[in-house]
Structure 1
């Protein structure tokens, strides 16, 4: 049986994470303070420290949640695609369009983790979930459309996210926004992979 105090702690932690996610997506990392996050739920800055340890750790965890949600929304947008090319384009358009702030947020957290080892488990956990969920969704999509691949769904999924996150890291480092040319480059790379490996079952 769950103890009331423990459940209240989980609820507070979840509320802080949601509040932080909204603020980080809207304002970016630097302007957001722990006081501002706590204020969103009527709490205190020390609650952020208690539940997450630091603003960096909260940012890393919130960014993982953000990109997982963006990935889910992209898959929902692409569910009725009638070709593998259309499916890839819709996924990319969603992730680099409505989902761009979430993708960029995760890219920034990845850059942080390069010099802050404590953030790496959170980033790795989010990447593992992205790959696992993406692979499962790809298998379901292939089955539904009767598409066949000659390589593993894992390889296709990893190639997709490597392309999207590689572009996001580039933009995070340069401060540039996504533009059509970059999105098209990602789409073409995926289509070239698909042309090599994916065929319609007759």
Structure 2
């Protein structure tokens, strides 16, 4: 845990500036975590943009979020836990989740338009299910030793199973 003084030293600012603007180091942490997961989501969509099959697209999303972008995802899961005890900060995580879901819905809608695929449920539910699976695996990954935990391949399989993506769908092309 970093103190406000340590945060200010790294930011080359004064403690009263941080507490004046953010109110507390918890609010600062939550805002940074929200920005980090939104950035992770954007980077992930960019990484998956050139995928040619559903398996490649979904796999790239999962591998990116739980690989190179894992720190941002785990920071946000920590912020969600913190906010469960700080109701005054819930609007930050709530707004971020809504934005993640909206962006996920938009990406899924673009994919459905290109491919003509049918979903098992609504786009809104699929987007929420995806992020719920990612956050669940991220929490588990952060809570156990690396040699006991999930590999990225395991993580992809867990998320695919959670989302009910059948193996027969994975090789379908993304463009019709």
Q: Which structure 2 residues correspond to residues 39-188 of structure 1 after superposition, within 5 A?
A: 39-143=9-113, 145-150=114-119, 151-172=121-142, 174-177=143-146, 179-180=150-151, 181-188=154-161
Q: Do 1:88 and 1:190's aligned partners in 2 also have CA atoms closer than 8 Å?
A: no
Q: Higher relative contact order by CA 8 Å / sep ≥ 6: 1 or 2?
A: 2
Instruction: Give the paired residue count.
Output: 168
Q: Tell me, what secondary structure is at the counterpart of 2:84? A: helix
Gaps of 5+ in 2: none
CA distances 1:118-176 after superposition (whole Å, capped 9, x unpaired): 22111111101100111112212333x3232233221211110010112223344x354
Cα 1:165–1:125 shift into 2, 3 Å: same
Q: Tell me, what secondary structure is at the counterpart of 2:117? A: strand
Distance 2:128 2:164 in 1: 14
Distance 2:116 2:126 in 1: 13
TM-score normalised by structure 1 residue count? 0.73
Q: Do 1:84 and 1:194's aligned partners in 2 also have CA atoms closer than 8 Å?
A: no
**Shift of residue 42, structure 1, vs aligned partner:** 2.9
TM-score normalised by structure 2 residue count? 0.83
Gaps of 5+ in 1: 1-29
